[in-house]
């Protein structure tokens, strides 16, 4: 039976949980996740876990933060004055905002604090600094992603 390798287009079902068992993502009720191993479209630990699996195989894999969304970086948290926000935006705890950088690129940030006239924004991925567990089932290998 063939095993998934770099360059293969694969379909997987998965459920991702945090260390405390909280589910943060799942393909349940949706089409299987389809990607090409080695393209870097998913976190490295997930791609590495699928490599070597055979269709029909299932496994649980623990992925450390370094192979997932990286460490939580304190320098990506900053305070802003509410007056710096456009009048039509009322920042509330948990809100995601899109900020435009000086170079024209955009960054997604979360509001993690609102006190008085101050708003605290976090540009870290919500799962940064967290070890993740995935239950993965390989549904199909469809060969290289080139055709």
Average pLDDT, the chain: 93
Do 17 and 59 belong together in one domain? yes
Average pLDDT over residues 130-147: 84
Q: How far apart are CA 1 and CA 22, in angstroms?
A: 34
Q: How far apart are CA 10 and CA 51, in angstroms?
A: 10
pLDDT of residue 1: 65
Whether the per-residue pLDDT at 145 is higher than 80: the answer is no
Q: Would you place residue 143 in the very low, low, confident or very high pLDDT band (cuts 50, 70, 90)?
A: low
Whether the per-residue pLDDT at 146 is higher than 90: the answer is no
**Token code pair at residue 19:** 């260390």
Structural domain count, the chain = 2
Do 60 and 81 belong together in one domain? no
Task: Supply the CATH number for residue 59's domain.
Answer: 3.10.50.40
Do 66 and 15 belong together in one domain? yes
Cβ neighbours for 19, distance < 8 A, ≥ 6 positions apart:
130, 131, 133
Q: For 52-96, how does the pLDDT look when each residue is reduced to its tens digit (9 = 90+)? A: 999 999 999 999 999 999 999 999 999 999 999 888 988 999 999
Do 80 and 62 belong together in one domain? no
CA angle 128, 21, 94 (to 5 degrees): 45
Q: How far apart are CA 107 and CA 109, in angstroms?
A: 6
Do 66 and 100 belong together in one domain? no
Q: What percent of the chain has pLDDT over 70?
A: 96
Q: What is this structure's pTM?
A: 0.82
pLDDT of residue 99: 84
Do 101 and 138 belong together in one domain? no
pLDDT of residue 90: 86
Do 38 and 81 belong together in one domain? no
pLDDT of residue 147: 46
Q: How far apart are CA 12 and CA 1, in angstroms?
A: 17
Average pLDDT over residues 34-44: 96
Q: Would you place residue 144 in the very low, low, confident or very high pLDDT band (cuts 50, 70, 90)?
A: low
Do 103 and 133 belong together in one domain? no
Do 40 and 63 belong together in one domain? yes
Task: Supply the CATH number for residue 113's domain.
Answer: 2.40.10.330
Residue range of the domain that includes 17: 8-70+127-144
Whether the per-residue pLDDT at 138 is higher than 70: the answer is yes
In a domain, 1, yes or no: no
């Amino acid at each position: 039976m063939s095993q998934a390798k770099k360059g293969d287009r694969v379909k997987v079902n998965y459920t991702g949980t945090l260390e405390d068992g909280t589910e943060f993502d799942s393909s349940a009720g949706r089409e299987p996740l389809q990607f090409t191993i080695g393209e870097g479209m998913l976190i490295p630990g997930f791609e590495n876990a699928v490599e070597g699996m055979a269709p029909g195989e299932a496994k649980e894999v623990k992925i450390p933060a370094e192979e997932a969304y990286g460490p939580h970086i304190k320098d990506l948290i900053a305070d802003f004055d509410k007056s710096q926000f456009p009048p039509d935006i009322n920042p509330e705890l948990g809100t995601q905002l899109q900020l435009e950088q000086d170079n024209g690129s955009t960054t997604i940030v979360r509001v993690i604090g609102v006190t008085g006239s101050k708003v605290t924004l976090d540009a870290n991925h919500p799962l940064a600094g967290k070890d993740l567990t995935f239950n993965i089932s390989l549904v199909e290998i469809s060969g290289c992603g080139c055709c």
